[in-house]
């Protein structure tokens, strides 16, 4: 069974929320039980707090600090942990935000305390908690993204137009289905022969993208010359066309009469140069080009594909 990256990062985030939350509760309660800070051996450190605003009222002992610690880092993280345990999505967002709050808390410590190991380590914990939260949210959105191929009923109606697509995560695939459905076109998936899924697959694709390498593709079981119009739909990899589409276009050089391109990418950019690059590989001048920004399964560019 495929490992869920969401479940792994969600559990790590839960660990951070519980670890920081319980630690802060413990520290805060110790400060309230003994406001001099003696339980935590912090009596001498109260001097450093005197540079803070309202220090003469708030920081003559550890009562205010204890309450603040319990609220800002303790209860907050325990609420996030509870929401995560009850499978509520808000827990992921809160867990991420409280990683950021911890960083802010430690920045105050950086300002008022001399350099010390504990503050540095907890700042790193805050960074890790924030990043884990961000990853959990991203993986969650990736894993709930799905395509209902049966919902597209207008497929293969028009035998003139062919949509060729490659997709790693499914975002370009959904786009290709939208186009095919609008045009009644024929759809064909270009498949890579390399391992491209998961985290390792991402880095492997990155290697191909960075070095503009051709990636092996499975043999095509169709003749593109039979189609009047071909629409090539590709994700963007490292500011360029995805490597399997580069390979495809080299293979199809001189075989396509009328071509249009659609690119699918994360950044809000047009990637216009990609269309010229593909023209060069295919030895043809494209009719249309459209770039679509897609973020975690949400398409931010709206297009009337019927008119494309």
Ligand X SMILES: Cc1cc2nc3c(=O)[nH]c(=O)nc-3n(C[C@H](O)[C@H](O)[C@H](O)COP(=O)(O)O)c2cc1C
* Site residues for ligand X per CB under 6 A: 167-173, 202, 205-206, 209, 235-239, 264-267, 294
Identify which of residues 78 and 196 has a Cβ nearer to ligand X in the complex.
196
What angle (nearest 5°) sits at the alpha carbon of residue 300, between those of residues 157 and 247? 60
- What is the Cα–Cα distance from 75 to 262, expressed in whole angstroms? 48
DSSP-derived secondary structure letter, 34: S
Tell me the closest approach of the beta carbon of residue 151 to ligand X, in angstroms. Answer: 18
Any idea which residue has 């509760």 for tokens?
Answer: 25
Identify which of residues 27 and 209 has a Cβ nearer to ligand X in the complex.
209
Tell me the closest approach of the beta carbon of residue 266 to ligand X, in angstroms. Answer: 4
Tell me the closest approach of the beta carbon of residue 83 to ligand X, in angstroms. Answer: 28
Pairing of strands 288-295, 240-241: unpaired
Identify which of residues 33 and 213 has a Cβ nearer to ligand X in the complex.
213
Tell me the closest approach of the beta carbon of residue 201 to ligand X, in angstroms. Answer: 8
Tell me the closest approach of the beta carbon of residue 96 to ligand X, in angstroms. Answer: 20
Identify which of residues 66 and 235 has a Cβ nearer to ligand X in the complex.
235
- What is the Cα–Cα distance from 217 to 193, expressed in whole angstroms? 5
What is the three-state SS of 216-282?
CECCCCCCHHHCCEEEEEEEEECCEECHHHHHHHHHCCCCCCEEEEEEEECCCCCCHHHHHHHHHHH
Identify which of residues 20 and 245 has a Cβ nearer to ligand X in the complex.
245
Tell me the closest approach of the beta carbon of residue 70 to ligand X, in angstroms. Answer: 41
Tell me the closest approach of the beta carbon of residue 171 to ligand X, in angstroms. Answer: 3
CB-side exposure of 297: number of CA atoms within 13 Å? 13
**In this structure, are residues 228 and 257 in contact, taking their beta carbons and an 8 Å threshold?**
yes
Direct distance between the N- and C-terminal alpha carbons of the chain, in angstroms, rounded to an integer: 40
H helix or E strand, kind and range, residue 22:
helix 5-33
Identify which of residues 82 and 303 has a Cβ nearer to ligand X in the complex.
303
Identify which of residues 110 and 202 has a Cβ nearer to ligand X in the complex.
202
Structure tokens at 157: 């109606």
């Amino acid at each position: 069974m495929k490992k869920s990256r969401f479940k792994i990062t969600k559990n790590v985030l839960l660990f951070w929320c519980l670890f920081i939350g319980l630690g802060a509760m413990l520290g805060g309660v110790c400060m309230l039980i003994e406001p001099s800070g003696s339980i935590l051996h912090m009596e001498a450190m109260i001097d450093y707090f005197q540079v803070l605003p309202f220090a003469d009222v708030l920081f003559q002992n550890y009562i205010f600090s204890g309450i603040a610690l319990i609220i800002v880092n303790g209860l907050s993280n325990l609420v996030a942990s509870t929401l995560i345990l009850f499978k509520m999505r808000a827990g992921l967002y809160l867990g991420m935000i409280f990683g950021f709050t911890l960083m802010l808390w430690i920045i105050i410590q950086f300002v008022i305390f001399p350099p010390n190991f504990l503050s540095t380590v907890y700042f790193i914990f805050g960074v890790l908690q924030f990043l884990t939260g961000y990853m959990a949210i991203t993986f969650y959105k990736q894993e709930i993204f799905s395509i209902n191929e049966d919902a597209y009923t207008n497929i293969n109606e028009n035998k003139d137009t062919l949509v060729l697509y490659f997709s790693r995560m499914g975002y370009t695939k959904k786009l290709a289905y939208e186009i095919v459905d609008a045009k009644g076109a024929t759809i064909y998936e270009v498949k890579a022969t390399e391992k491209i899924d998961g985290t390792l697959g991402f880095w492997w694709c990155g290697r191909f993208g960075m070095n503009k390498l051709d990636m092996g593709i499975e043999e095509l079981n169709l003749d593109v010359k039979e189609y009047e119009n071909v629409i090539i739909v590709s994700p963007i990899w490292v500011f360029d066309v995805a490597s399997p589409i580069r390979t495809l276009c080299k293979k199809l050089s001189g075989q396509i009469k009328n071509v249009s391109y659609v690119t699918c990418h994360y950044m809000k950019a047009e990637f216009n140069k990609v269309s010229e690059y593909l023209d060069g590989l295919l030895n043809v001048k494209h009719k249309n080009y459209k770039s679509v920004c897609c973020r975690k399964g949400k398409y931010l560019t709206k297009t009337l594909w019927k008119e494309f």
